[in-house]
Amino acid sequence: LVDPHVTEYCLVMSSKKHYLTLCSAHGDRFGMVLPFTGNQALVFSQSKTIRRKDAKIDKQKDPSITCVGSKTHLTLANLQENQKYYLDLFALNRQSNLTYIYGTTSMIRKLLSDSLKLYVTPCGGAIDIYVSLKNETILRRRNIEGFGRLIIENPKIGSRYYIKILSSNKEELRRISGVEVS
């Protein structure tokens, strides 16, 4: 049974395999660091520093381990198209220090559409809308009243699109109370 007040979650994402324990995922991610033997001439504090340097984190290394605390949602970003991913969710009980696998699944990241759709609803008057990418206007619509649908064909994945919304005329500027874009 999961007690939400004392449970934290970690998601392990791999393109190679499922993990049955969080320890095995940590071992593959950071490598196994063996303890120093007593006859080595390193002070304990120095050995910690050396271990930290050896275990530098590479963001692209497989598996990816993301701990989100008590949050129950996470957005996965920068997934490769047509790549299979194995997702394993681990629950960590802070009171008992017990870690166990809570759920597991796999998925293939597919491109859902070759277009990006924007739905616009001006509240109170007509608007003009401009969508730009890298300072170049790629889409322009004038006098949208009530409801408007804009479609960007073949959007560039990972690019940032800017939406500029203006009142169609200065008299209507006072009447517009907001614009909803979804």
Q: Residue 88, Cβ neighbours under 10 Å: how many? A: 25
Burial label for 12, CB within 10 Å (0-12, 13-18, 19+), is buried
The alpha carbon of 20 is separated from its chain's Cα centroid by a whole number of angstroms, namely 23
Instruction: Tell me, yes or no, if the pTM score tops 0.75.
Output: no
- On the question of pLDDT at 90 being above 90, the answer is yes
Q: What is the mean pLDDT of residues 153-175?
A: 76
Amino acid in position 100: Y
Residue 51 confidence (pLDDT): 41
- On the question of pLDDT at 92 being above 90, the answer is yes
More confident residue, 65 or 56: 65
Q: What would the two tokens of residue 146 be?
A: 């009530």
Query: To the nearest whole percent, how much of the chain has pLDDT over 90?
Result: 25
Could you read off the pLDDT of 93-135 as tens digits, one per residue?
989 989 999 999 999 887 666 788 888 887 777 788 888 888 8
* Average pLDDT over the chain, rounded to an integer: 77
Boundaries of every domain in the chain: 7-108, 115-181
Give the pLDDT band (50/70/90) at residue 181. low
- On the question of pLDDT at 160 being above 60, the answer is yes
Q: Residue 129, Cβ neighbours under 10 Å: how many? A: 20
Least reliable range by pLDDT among 51-60, 96-105, 173-182? 51-60
Q: What is the mean pLDDT of residues 10-27?
A: 93
Question: Residue 28: helix, strand or coil by DSSP?
Answer: helix
- On the question of pLDDT at 79 being above 50, the answer is yes
Residue 20 confidence (pLDDT): 94
Residue 177 confidence (pLDDT): 54
